[in-house]
Chains A and B, each alone.
Chain A
Amino acid sequence: MRRYWPHVWLLLGVLVFATPIYITLIGSTHDASTIGRGDVPLLPGSHAAENYASAWLRGGAGRFTVSPAWRMMLNSTIMALCIAVGKIVISLLSAYAVVFFSFPGRMIAFWTIFMTLMLPVEVRIIPTYQVIVSLDLFNSMAGLTIPLIASATATLLFRQFFLTIPEEYVEAAKMDGASPMRFFRDILLPLSVTNIAALFVILFIYGWNQYLWPLLVVNDRNLETIVVGMAKMIGNGDAQNEWNVIMAMAVLALLPPVAVVIFMQRWFLKGLTETEK
């Protein structure tokens, strides 16, 4: 019996994680009144098609009008992609500069980057908001993504990786006559592919889940993101929420991050576990 206990604990863990998702999934197949009564149905209902159709094509209605899910998911995807790609590009370049070049103020530059770890958007939200407004980037995709791009975490990660690259590669490339950017492109970048993939997964999900900043900097319905949109559909007090549509939307909102994880899983694991050096 003893050797089954670990499995029991593990199964319990799985249950803790999976149950809310299961309930969401089931909820999205019932009509509004079933959930409105306060029941928590555990078996699928028969309203899946209409719930998903209204989530996908109509969005929130009445007092809680939000854009249809397809629109918001498109916005979220663009935002998450911009943030992930932007963060990776910027941090690759800054890590490259900090590790491979000696210039005056190199350590200051490094520590300045490092210190921004202590200043996430939430902390500097008012000044950042002011900057974006005065740059006339309010209500734009640029305003939505740029403040989230600068990233100390990714820079540190790439720095650590670059430090493990043998000095001889740099020297061999110098002998071969490769310019610094050529070395970056031909040698450093291919060696970093697995790290980039792993980081992309994390950063895409980070971008996708952004809530506070998009809520603040965008009020144009055409730029609404799904995480914000979903929250807007949930009213306070006595309002009758369309829980069935909200659930359907939540399920839809789950799909792109899940797809990214599944698609990138192979590289992701490789990036975390092995190095090709």
Chain B
Amino acid sequence: MASLDVSGLRKSFGPTHVLHGIDLAVEDGEMIVIVGASGCGKSTLLRIVAGLETATSGSIRIAGREVTALEPAERDIAMVFQNYALYPHMSVEQNMAYGLKIRGLPKAEITRRVAEAAGLLGIEALLGRRPRQLSGGQRQRVAMGRAIVREPKLFLFDEPLSNLDAKLRVQMRAEIRRLQRRLGVTSLFVTHDQTEAMTLGDRLVVMHAGHAAQIATPMEIWARPADTYVAGFIGSPAMNFLEGTLAEGGQAVALKAGPVLRFADGPRAGGEGMPLTVGIRPEHVELAEGGILLPLDLVEPLGSETVLHGRLPGGEALVVKLAGPAPDAPSLPVALPAAALHVFDGETGKRLDP
């Protein structure tokens, strides 16, 4: 158990800059999820923390100890790989024990730790089997077991659930979360799946093009996304973005689609006519008599909710998520409640608060 401090971490492959200075402080026992689209640098960040890649500059400290120049094995960490990387010719037990054997732990201690981890994961019956005789979920557990027996200061997960089918993924997700809480080991978890990120993380790092776009708790990121990228990435269906300009001395936004909406939380700084991007989540759009008429081009009934796709008079797409079934009509009047608006700078995409 330990803290992790990453500061000023940069990585370039030749002329290509992959990470542009990442700063991250992870507290003892915290589960941090690094989330982003592919190519955003999230795996590189994890691999640098693991010691599998070297940083171009910056430093990494685990439990206050400088580890930037150390070999992976010397960092006191354990990693769960995307394809599990279980040694195919070793039994489950040997797979879990291998790292301990290399460290030269006494046999009795190795047996004890393996048995304990196997008990924790419910894989006692599988100890004698080879990896190829196991199902995906079982392999996943063994990979976790291999990490647990190490009793590391830090767990690293590199998209460990992406090879599982949807149902198993949800189940293993909950299991990982429970296990991590119970063991209280500081963890970094990389994923491209925003649901996985939201449900697993104490805090999220949303990565975008080599930068940490936002580091905050899941609810904070959902409620107050730092920029349009984060806003569009977190939440499903994705947030709607509408073009507009600042109006009424900063008190309101004049949407390209027509209506002028007054901000509920106060004026924004900036000149009259400054371009804005206004975001509103599909679930916050309401049906209201006398609202903007939204012609629908697609209705997706999902049972407990319905997702409507339409185009505003100005041509901008708008997605609406309704609880329950939708009224059967070719177009519906919708309102954009002022309290649910997210206001971003139209040029930089940064969030604008009052």
Contact = CB atoms under 8 A, between A and B. Distances in A.
Contacts of A169: 85, 87
Given A175-B77, A176-B99, A177-B102, A166 B85 contact: yes
A2 interface: no
B88 A191 contact: yes
B88 A182 contact: no
Interface in B54-92: 71-74, 77-79, 81-89
B264 interface: no
Contact of B81 (A171, A178, A276): A171
A136 interface: no
Contacts of B73: 174-178
A187 B87 contact: yes
Contact of A168 (B72, B83, B98, B99): B83
B4 interface: no
A172 interface: yes
A276 B88 contact: yes
B45 to A, nearest CB: 15
Nearest to A168: B85
B99 A175 contact: yes
Contacts of B50: 171, 175
Interface residues of B, number: 24
Most chain B CB within 10 A, of A171, A172, A186, is at A172
B88 A175 contact: no
B323 interface: no
B89 A190 contact: yes
B132 interface: yes
A124 interface: no
Contacts of B51: 174
Contacts of B120: none
A277 interface: yes
Contact of A175 (B79, B84, B132): B79
A178 B73 CA distance: 8
Contacts of B85: 166, 168-169, 171-172
Contacts of B89: 187, 190-191, 276
A166 B83 contact: yes
A166 B98 CA distance: 18
Contact of A177 (B52, B82, B87, B99): B99
Contacts of A168: 81-85
Contacts of A277: 88
A277 B89 CA distance: 8
B103 interface: yes
B102 A174 contact: no
Nearest to A169: B85
Nearest to A172: B85
A175 B102 contact: no
A172 B81 contact: yes
Given A186-B98, A276-B132, A174 B52 contact: yes
A232 B51 CA distance: 63
B319 to A, nearest CB: 39
A169 B98 CA distance: 13
Interface string A182-204: 10001100110000000000000
Contacts of B132: 276
Interface string B84-116: 111111000000001100110000000000000
Nearest to B99: A176
Nearest to B71: A174
Contacts of A178: 73, 98, 102
Nearest to A178: B102
Contacts of A175: 50, 72-73, 77-79, 99
Contacts of B102: 176-178, 182
Contacts of B88: 191, 276-277
B97 to A, nearest CB: 10
A186 B83 CA distance: 20
Contacts of A174: 51-52, 71-73
Interface string A142-168: 000000000000000000000000101
- The 8 lowest CB-CB distance pairs between A and B, nearest first, are A177-B73, A168-B85, A176-B99, A172-B85, A190-B89, A177-B102, A174-B72, A168-B81
Given A175-B99, A178-B98, 7 more contacts: A168-B82, A168-B85, A169-B85, A169-B87, A174-B73, A191-B89, A276-B88
Interface of A: 166, 168-169, 171-172, 174-178, 182, 186-187, 190-191, 276-277
20 contacts: A166-B83, A168-B81, A168-B84, A169-B85, A171-B81, A172-B79, A172-B85, A172-B86, A174-B73, A175-B73, A175-B78, A176-B98, A176-B102, A177-B74, A177-B99, A178-B102, A182-B102, A187-B89, A191-B88, A276-B132
